[in-house]
Structure 1
């Protein structure tokens, strides 16, 4: 018997061993490959795995939930909540495979597990162009797609607060709500990921007992925590790189306090995690980067104030957004296709301006008048690069789709050429020889380890 055989299943050491044992994966599976993989696991193990249809996507794909185990706890794991975030595809596959192969794992964690491989298949198909080469940033941004806010499954749950109201739940959102209602989960893990820097987490409530393990899992796999700029200034940090999800009401009030529109046209609704809280659910989100950068966890102070950093990068982002707004306005009279790329661009392009204005407003606040850290510098600059390349690239896809369909006028082709040149210059500015791609197995390992840590905590495993 080896030392690892003596580990208590679900103990910290066992979780770290399991996270490190994730097999090598080549790229990410396409939607059809993912669906086939789950269907085959159910076919091979009908005595363990069952599935039920929870809905249908807008373009007709069946949405299925796979279940295994009969413990006293209920855990729901959902992939594809944002279709440009496919790390969770392999995490979902690996989790189900391990629960099939290792009955001791399921017994120790005392749960019925419910796994939705992908809740937004229509959106994920529009990202498949870069799935075979996830380390290639050029390919990633060129074939990137993220739905408009009011078409995101994650953010289209009902919301009613002050002047904000949203109730346009999509079929996929209704399916996810149905899955949450059916399973009433103790643990809910929507499988997200980020892009660049380090690992960070969200929890819907403080759970101090989890913080150490959430730090140890990426450390054991050689990945840094992201100690730079958080995704939003209102977030409460529970521990380094661990935040509360907060509420959309808090986002509204915080944005309003900065003098900005808290609910602009095209806004979505509440999150799936907020919807699950009616059942006392603990939601856990592990945000993982595709690429590493040494500055992501460097808290050394730099010779620039945090406020000046926010204002400087905010002005550049707002100016870049204004360029895209001008090109979009010029293109509008010539558009013939109501493509998802154009719908998303119409929402996100103006957001670059408002996001830049938000950074400028934050930079003027009293608490920002302190030295910035190298990690914050990296986070602000990467935020700028990410937004320009994501949404400039999507607008370019939208314009080129018109050309591909044969409906682009001469003026629209000229606008696409101008945007193409601008996009190429932004792409060159984002180049950094210190950027390193991360093996997919390590990313899956962190996400898988975080799921096991949350489940072990709720099961009372010591």
Structure 2
């Protein structure tokens, strides 16, 4: 028996009502908006609590619709990547207002997978979204404190069995819902849009390429970040097995996508860039080889790691606050050499291949962003210590040095790119549309 598609062919019509947002909502702001939506649509919406954050926030899921098949939207899996809050806001309203999007489906929205850490990023949510402001107020949890890196991995290589309370809540959600589709909302820095899948879905890579080609945000070029990953189509890559994520370092567990696969769930990760630079999508020859570009990048990343390690060694004995920023900075210093080694290995494997302008641009900006991430969080950590009255000489001297180094890194970033932020409505349009494109294909393949 023929059955009409559950997701209409004309997905772009759902994107025309996206607001021209000026800022990203706070944790409380997004949850308040969703509570208002649920209260106005009591016949469709209900909340269920699945856990509690480490600081005591309830971890609740908003469910919309009464269909037999479940869709899970995972917001804020990485706390410094909050554009998904706007995607959750718009997509939840679309699902409420358009009955065809609920045909045989129930949508479930976890607004923030890690609300505690997201709150530590709220200083830059209202803008300006400059590279400097972002790194002034950035908090990226250490892997052991990061929800989407702490799912159990019980293989012998990279064995990991320390899921966080927030991770356990997502595990309960997946066990309860067994969704046909899980959509994990992420951001990247520069470059373009790219997607990760837990397994190949026939036709989906082509669908995503066609959709993204019509958007205001370009598709990412292949880069060292995805070197070695299987790709069913341009801009789409397959997750590596959980035991290979960190090369056996065992500081990382699996992701929600790895865990959801046991339930037959298809997981899509949409990586949407924050800043625009026209060179990021330029495929013309840069006049350099990939070996040169990423060999130099690897050297700079290693130097930044050594610098951060030296600064932390100076102040570590004087720290008193117990801030989670400590673990974050230490993990960056500790894992930096492995990242540099991976970049160098990729550079050697592609040594003589000409580097496109976009690849040269990514190779130039990435080490600067990594340095700013470490120095920005170190400055926050030291200023927090000083604010408590801990004015140890090592802290006072190091914060001055960190300020100077951070200023230099900001200047270096400015010489590479102006760092113009993408309009929020453009990045949300890509994320919302790609999710609907993926769900449509997944449902069609399931028929």
Which category of TM-score, normalised to the shorter sequence, fits these structures? over 0.9
Q: Residue deviations 1:173-231, cap 9 Å, x none?
A: 11000011111011001111112121111111112412233123333332111104142
Residue aligning to 2:378 = 395
Tell me, yes or no, if the aligned pair for 2:7 and 2:100 is still in contact at 8 Å: no
SS in 2 for 1:285: strand
Residue aligning to 2:17 = 21
Q: How far is 1:9 from its partner?
A: 7.2
Residue of structure 1 aligned with 2:421, choices 437, 440, 455: 437
Q: Distance in 1 between matches of 2:206 and 2:304?
A: 40
Residue aligning to 1:70 = 66
Residue aligning to 2:28 = 32
Q: How far is 1:34 from its partner?
A: 1.1
Q: Distance in 1 between matches of 2:286 and 2:218?
A: 20
Q: Distance in 2 between matches of 1:364 and 1:102?
A: 51
Tell me, yes or no, if the aligned pair for 1:228 and 1:297 is still in contact at 8 Å: no
Residue aligning to 2:324 = 340
Map 1:364-443; keep pairs closer than 5 Å: 364-365=348-349, 367-431=350-414, 432=416, 434-443=418-427
SS in 2 for 1:406: coil
Map 1:32-111; keep pairs closer than 5 Å: 32-107=28-103, 110-111=104-105
Q: Which of 374-383 and 207-216 deviates more?
A: 207-216
> Residue 378 and residue 237 in structure 1: after superposition, are their counterparts in 2 closer, same or farther (change >3 A)?
farther
Q: Residue deviations 1:130-162, cap 9 Å, x none?
A: 000153221111100011101110010111333
Q: How far is 1:434 from its partner?
A: 4.7
Residue aligning to 1:184 = 178
Unaligned 5+ runs, structure 2: none
**Does residue 120 in structure 1 map to residue 114 in structure 2?**
yes
Residue aligning to 1:323 = 307
Q: Residue deviations 1:309-335, cap 9 Å, x none?
A: 221111111112111111110111111
> Residue 94 and residue 136 in structure 1: after superposition, are their counterparts in 2 closer, same or farther (change >3 A)?
same
Residue aligning to 2:8 = 11
Map 1:62-461; keep pairs closer than 5 Å: 62-107=58-103, 110-133=104-127, 135-251=129-245, 255=247, 262-263=248-249, 267-365=251-349, 367-431=350-414, 432=416, 434-460=418-444
Q: Residue deviations 1:3-24, cap 9 Å, x none?
A: xxxx987334x11222343122
Q: Residue deviations 1:85-142, cap 9 Å, x none?
A: 11111111111111111213322xx311111111100000000000001532211111
Q: Distance in 2 between matches of 1:301 and 1:88?
A: 34
Tell me, yes or no, if the aligned pair for 1:120 and 1:153 is still in contact at 8 Å: yes
Q: Distance in 2 between matches of 1:220 and 1:436?
A: 21
Q: Which of 139-148 and 229-238 deviates more?
A: 229-238
Tell me, yes or no, if the aligned pair for 1:20 and 1:442 is still in contact at 8 Å: no
TM-score of the pair, normalised by structure 1: 0.91
SS in 2 for 1:39: helix
> Residue 390 and residue 281 in structure 1: after superposition, are their counterparts in 2 closer, same or farther (change >3 A)?
same
Tell me, yes or no, if the aligned pair for 1:149 and 1:268 is still in contact at 8 Å: yes
Q: Distance in 1 between matches of 2:441 and 2:50?
A: 28
Q: Distance in 2 between matches of 1:127 and 1:429?
A: 23
Q: Distance in 2 between matches of 1:392 and 1:232?
A: 25
Tell me, yes or no, if the aligned pair for 1:30 and 1:128 is still in contact at 8 Å: yes
TM-score of the pair, normalised by structure 2: 0.94
Tell me, yes or no, if the aligned pair for 1:200 and 1:226 is still in contact at 8 Å: yes
Unaligned 5+ runs, structure 1: 1-6, 256-261
Q: Residue deviations 1:387-438, cap 9 Å, x none?
A: 1111221111111111111113122110111111011101100014553211
Q: Distance in 2 between matches of 1:427 and 1:210?
A: 39
Tell me, yes or no, if the aligned pair for 1:142 and 1:393 is still in contact at 8 Å: yes
Tell me, yes or no, if the aligned pair for 2:73 and 2:182 is still in contact at 8 Å: yes
SS in 2 for 1:166: coil
SS in 1 for 2:50: strand
SS in 1 for 2:70: strand
Superposition RMSD in Å = 1.9
Q: How far is 1:165 from its partner?
A: 2.2
Tell me, yes or no, if the aligned pair for 2:24 and 2:85 is still in contact at 8 Å: yes
